[in-house]
């Protein structure tokens, strides 16, 4: 991670400004993210300034099924995805011999700095860095003090970012003209409260507290700037500018989606493989020529080895005539694959070369009837891709786990048509709920009434957003999500992995769907590693014990009765998206949760204090 500057253009050696793991680039430090370094604040530049020169490793992340699904969604919004190299790892830098031709470029941001001399506190724009790389200020009292980037910036809900207009802000109520508006100071109180942070002008005495910038009245209009895409990048914007703390949790919401690598050989996988290889098959006009070409091209032969040659040629013909296959949704395909797994055999070896290997466990005699089956995945490969990002408000996610690409999002690049990706290898434990039991539970009057209460809270939350959210997920999703958190907490005590290392993947659909889904995949994995140690898979045979522990733990929360009686609609704390759920019972590390600890209600899973017992899917545990 390096900044661009004049010294680099003159060929002077400059060490990297910082290091992050490749997987962190997708979630926390991606294009458009603000990063604090030791003595600087920087903004990660867009994909146009990610350089792969001299890279010694393969950076392409193949996943044809996922690429085809995303390409179709991008096409609907007028964007194209590179059919040959759609996903790439973030470029690795060389810390021993850093160069601006390799790695991720960053730029200094914000441009306003504050003097660290307590008697001065001058606020200046664009001070020049000294030989030591730091910015210094010659104060009026003769002292010389370092300057650091101001910790506040301006942003809007479309993801735009700019320096806050400090000169205009300080003089917003000043009557008359200030002849020297550049002599600004920033005074901060002992508590850090916005009411005690003052921006003042030494020339005319104008002053304004930051608390006024948090109000809706008089906010400046956003200029539509996109500095991570270039100094002049901007677009039309009519949003009001919001004052934002650089390191705030709402400064950057990465839009990431992922898909599991599934066994090849199905029709959809065939069409995707042929589409990817089509440029190398331009002269193929018969099955015989296809087979002959494969004998001469070892890489092509390996890519098509699992498909029948006649089926490959038929798919190639469909592609040439413009016939596009109807893609199966990513999670639907994964759900079907998990359900199709055969029962585990004694001492069955795990294939070394496969990316996916799972087996269904024999049903324990004491397993609750509400659980239909248990599947352990010894090997999982997950490809995670960043699509874009938002600021101030998290992006809306559909029930299928997909982002709505038609909703406004900040782009990662102005010219590139590939997406940054990470490859995660690990293991997982899959649990499917019984559909008949779910249908009976969902039809209960108490459950319908609870669902209506949760829907009113969802509507109250939706009314606070600028962008339209996805549809209300329903009580079915609340049940699956709450049970997932309960299981992750219980399993983490014995599986050998910390709770933050476990992640959920929910398979949920509408109850009236043609092929309804109701499953939970709890997985763990590590980017850049060959796999994990089997501790999670080993818990499959102890699932009954974990379910009983989860049930017992959720019966009573340390915050009851307040937690159990919480209603989302009309809540003065604005917890609109959860019922009986809090840090004392259901919340987990946010890296483990798909929905930022939202859409949770343990009263739908177990009998909560003061709630109707018929609300609970697991009303009792034998």
Q: Give pLDDT tens digits for 292-317.
A: 888 888 888 877 876 778 888 888 88
pLDDT at 165: 92
Query: How far is it, in rounded angstroms, from Cα 283 to Cα 290?
Result: 9
- Find all residues with CB under 8 Å of 584, minimum gap 6, and list them: 557, 558, 559, 563
294 and 288 in contact (C-beta within 8 Å)?
no
More confident residue, 153 or 17: 153
Residue 13 has pLDDT above 60, yes or no: no
Strand order in the sheet with 242-245: 161-162, 152-155, 242-245
CB 421 within 8 Å of CB 385: yes
Q: Which H helix or E strand runs over 453? A: helix 445-462
Give the pLDDT score at 334.
92
377 contacts 391 by C-beta, under 8 angstroms: no
* Residue 346 CB partners (closer than 8 Å, separation 6+): none
Give me 443's structure tokens. Answer: 């039809």
Whether the Cβ atoms of residue 475 and residue 441 lie closer than 8 Å to each other: no
Q: Is 433 helix (H, G, I), strand (E, B) or coil?
A: strand
- Extract the tokens encoding 464: 């606070």
SS3 589: coil
pLDDT for residue 194 is more than 70: yes
Phi/psi at 53 (nearest 5 deg)? -60, 130
Instruction: Please report the pLDDT score of residue 114 as a whole number.
Output: 92
Helices 475-492 + 543-555 axis angle, to 10: 110
Kindly indicate the confidence band of residue 580, based on its pLDDT and cuts at 50, 70 and 90: very high
Q: Is 537 exposed, middle or buried (0-12, 13-18, 19+ CB in 10 A)?
A: buried
Taking each helix axis as running N to C, give the angle between helix 309-320 and helix 287-296, from 0 to 180 degrees, rounded to the nearest 10.
110
| Contact partners, residue 148, CB within 8 Å, separation at least 6 | 39, 41, 113, 114, 116, 135
What's residue 10's pLDDT?
A: 47
* Helix, strand counts (H, E) of the chain: 13, 22
Which alpha helices (DSSP H) does 463-599 contain, by range? 475-492, 543-555
* Tens-place pLDDT, residues 113-152: 999 998 899 999 888 887 777 889 988 888 899 999 999 9
Give 207: exposed, middle or buried? Use CB within 10 Å, 0-12, 13-18, 19+.
middle
- Which range (187-196, 404-413, 423-432, 466-475) has the least confidence? 404-413
What's the rounded Cα separation, in Å, for the pair 375 and 523? 12
What pairing do the DSSP bridges indicate for beta strands 371-390 and 419-433?
antiparallel
Of the ranges 289-298, 351-360, 546-555, which is most confident? 546-555
**pLDDT value at 291 more than 90:** no
Examine the pLDDT at 490 and tell me if it is beyond 80: yes
Say how far apart CA 391 and CA 416 lie, in whole Å.
22
pLDDT at 335 exceeding the cut of 80 = yes
For residue 12, pLDDT beyond 60: no
- For residue 611, list its beta bridge partners: none
Q: How many CB atoms lie within 10 A of CB 50?
A: 23
**How far apart (Å, rounded) are the C-alpha atoms in residues 21 and 30?**
11
Mean pLDDT of 198-219: 84
Q: How large is the average pLDDT for residues 30-52?
A: 89
Please report the pLDDT score of residue 8 as a whole number: 45
Q: Give the model's confidence band at 399: pLDDT under 50 very low, under 70 low, under 90 confident, else very high.
A: confident
pLDDT for the residue numbered 222? 92
CB burial readout 450-482, b (16+ within 10 A) else e: bbeebbbbbebbbeeeeeebbebbbbbbbbbbb
Instruction: Look at residue 407 in the predicted model and tell me its pLDDT.
Output: 63
Lowest mean pLDDT among 244-253, 310-319, 431-440, 471-480: 310-319
408 has pLDDT over 80: no
Candidates 296, 332, 325; CA nearest to 516 is: 332
What integer pLDDT is reported at residue 385 of this predicted model?
Answer: 94
Place of tokens 């987990």: 588
Backbone φ/ψ region at 550: left (φ over 0), alpha (ψ -120 to 50), beta: alpha
pLDDT of residue 270: 72
Is residue 328 pLDDT above 60, yes or no?
yes
Q: How far apart are CA 309 and CA 288, in angstroms?
A: 9
Provide the β-strand partners of residue 340. none
Banded pLDDT at 586 (limits 50, 70, 90): very high
Neighbouring-strand partners of residue 359: 376
Q: Mean pLDDT score of the chain, rounded to an integer?
A: 86
User: What pTM was computed for the model?
Assistant: 0.84
Residue 15 has pLDDT above 70, yes or no: no
Q: Are 167 and 182 in contact (CB under 8 A)?
A: yes
- Looking at residue 451, its pLDDT comes to 95
Token pair listed for 332: 């639907």
In the predicted model, is pLDDT for residue 486 greater than 90?
yes
Do the beta carbons of residue 569 and residue 541 sit within 8 Å?
A: no
Distance CA 404, CA 395 (A): 8
- Mean pLDDT for the stretch of residues 28-51: 89
> Which stretches of 350-409 are assigned E, i.e. beta strand?
357-360, 371-390
Radius of gyration of the chain from its Cα atoms, rounded to whole angstroms: 28
* pLDDT at position 622: 57
CA 346 to chain centre: 39
């Amino acid at each position: 991670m390096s900044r661009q500057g004049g010294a680099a253009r003159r060929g002077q050696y400059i060490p990297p400004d910082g290091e992050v793991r490749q997987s962190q680039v997708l979630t926390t430090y991606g294009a458009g993210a603000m990063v604090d370094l030791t003595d600087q604040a920087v903004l990660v530049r867009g994909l146009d300034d990610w350089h792969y020169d001299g890279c010694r490793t393969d950076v392409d992340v193949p996943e044809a099924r996922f690429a085809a699904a995303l390409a179709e969604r991008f096409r609907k919004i007028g964007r194209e995805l590179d059919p040959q190299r759609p996903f790439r790892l973030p470029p690795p830098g060389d810390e021993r011999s850093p160069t601006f031709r390799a790695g991720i470029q960053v730029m200094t941001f914000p441009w306003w700095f504050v003097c660290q001399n307590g008697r001065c506190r001058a606020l200046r724009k664009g001070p020049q860095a000294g030989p030591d790389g730091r910015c210094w200020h010659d104060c009026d009292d003769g002292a010389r003090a370092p300057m650091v980037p101001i910790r506040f910036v301006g942003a809007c809900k479309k993801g735009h970012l700019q320096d806050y207009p400090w000169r205009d802000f300080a003089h917003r109520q000043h009557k008359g003209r200030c002849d020297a508006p550049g002599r600004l100071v920033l005074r901060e109180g002992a508590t850090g409260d916005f009411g005690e942070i003052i921006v003042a002008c030494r020339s005319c005495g104008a002053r304004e507290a930051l608390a006024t910038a948090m109000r809706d009245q008089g906010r400046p209009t956003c200029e539509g700037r996109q500095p991570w895409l270039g100094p002049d990048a901007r677009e039309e914007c009519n949003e009001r500018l919001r004052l934002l703390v650089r390191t705030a949790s709402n400064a950057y919401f990465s839009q990431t989606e992922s898909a599991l690598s599934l066994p090849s050989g199905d029709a959809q996988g065939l069409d995707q493989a042929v589409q990817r290889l089509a440029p190398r098959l331009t002269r193929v006009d018969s099955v015989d020529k296809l087979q002959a070409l494969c004998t001469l091209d070892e890489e092509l032969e390996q890519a098509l080895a699992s498909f029948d040659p006649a089926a490959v040629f038929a798919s190639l013909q469909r592609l040439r005539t413009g016939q596009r296959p109807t893609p199966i949704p990513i999670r639907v395909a994964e759900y079907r694959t998990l359900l199709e797994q055969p029962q585990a055999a004694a001492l069955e070896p795990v294939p070394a070369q496969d990316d996916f290997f799972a087996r269904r466990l024999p049903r324990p005699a004491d397993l609750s009837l509400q659980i239909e089956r248990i599947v352990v995945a010894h090997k999982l490969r997950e490809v995670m891709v960043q699509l874009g990002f938002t600021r101030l408000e998290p992006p809306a996610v559909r029930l299928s786990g997909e982002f709505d690409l038609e909703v406004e999002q900040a782009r990662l690049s102005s010219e590139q048509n590939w997406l940054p990706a990470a490859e995660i290898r690990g293991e997982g434990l899959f649990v499917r709920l019984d559909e008949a039991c779910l249908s009976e539970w969902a039809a209960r009057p108490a459950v319908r009434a609870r669902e209506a209460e949760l829907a009113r809270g969802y509507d109250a939350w939706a009314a606070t957003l600028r962008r339209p959210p996805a549809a209300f997920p329903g009580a079915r999703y609340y049940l699956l999500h709450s049970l997932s958190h309960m299981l992750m907490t219980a399993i983490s005590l014995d599986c050998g992995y910390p709770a933050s290392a476990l992640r959920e993947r929910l398979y949920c659909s509408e109850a009236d769907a043609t092929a309804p889904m109701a499953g939970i995949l709890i997985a763990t994995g590590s980017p850049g590693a060959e796999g994990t140690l089997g501790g999670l898979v080993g818990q499959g045979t102890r699932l009954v014990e974990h379910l009983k522990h989860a049930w017992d733990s959720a019966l009573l929360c340390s915050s009851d009765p307040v937690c159990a009686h919480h209603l989302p609609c009309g809540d003065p704390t604005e917890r609109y998206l959860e019922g009986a759920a809090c840090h004392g019972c259901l919340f987990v590390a946010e890296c483990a949760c798909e929905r930022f600890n939202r859409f949770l209600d343990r009263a739908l899973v177990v009998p909560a204090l003061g709630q109707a017992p018929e609300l609970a899917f697991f009303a009792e545990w034998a």
